[in-house]
Amino acid sequence: MATVHYFASIREKLGLSTEQLELPSQVDTVNALVALLIEQHGSSWEEVLKKSSVLVAVNQSVVSFTSPVTNGDEVAFFPPVTGG
């Protein structure tokens, strides 16, 4: 199982803050995970997760969408940060 978190505007648009899902062996990159999430949740997720400004972290480090993911990972999708 992988854990996926959604934050801020992305969480609100998707109406979900966290979920757990089993990654099939062919889902081995962030891009493949995004495709799986769109397949499972419907096309309304596509415009949210495919927006060019969306950032992804795997195990709490920001990575590129071509980076590997595997079961056991903690993945998070979020917009550019705006703290302070």
Supply the minimum distance, in Å, between the C-beta of residue 24 and other proteins. 26
Query: Interface with other proteins includes 52 (CB under 8 A)?
Result: no
Query: Interface with other proteins includes 78 (CB under 8 A)?
Result: yes
Question: What is the amino acid identity at position 39?
Answer: E
Supply the minimum distance, in Å, between the C-beta of residue 39 and other proteins. 26
How many helices and strands (H and E) does the chain possess?
3, 5
Instruction: Output the CA angle 20-5-66, nearest 5 degrees.
Output: 95
What residue has token string 């415009």?
A: 47
> Number of residues in contact with other proteins, rule: CB under 8 A?
15
Query: Interface with other proteins includes 67 (CB under 8 A)?
Result: no
Q: Of residues 31, 57, 71, 73, which one binds other proteins by CB under 8 A? A: 57
Query: Interface with other proteins includes 8 (CB under 8 A)?
Result: yes
**61-63 and 2-6: which strand pairing?**
unpaired
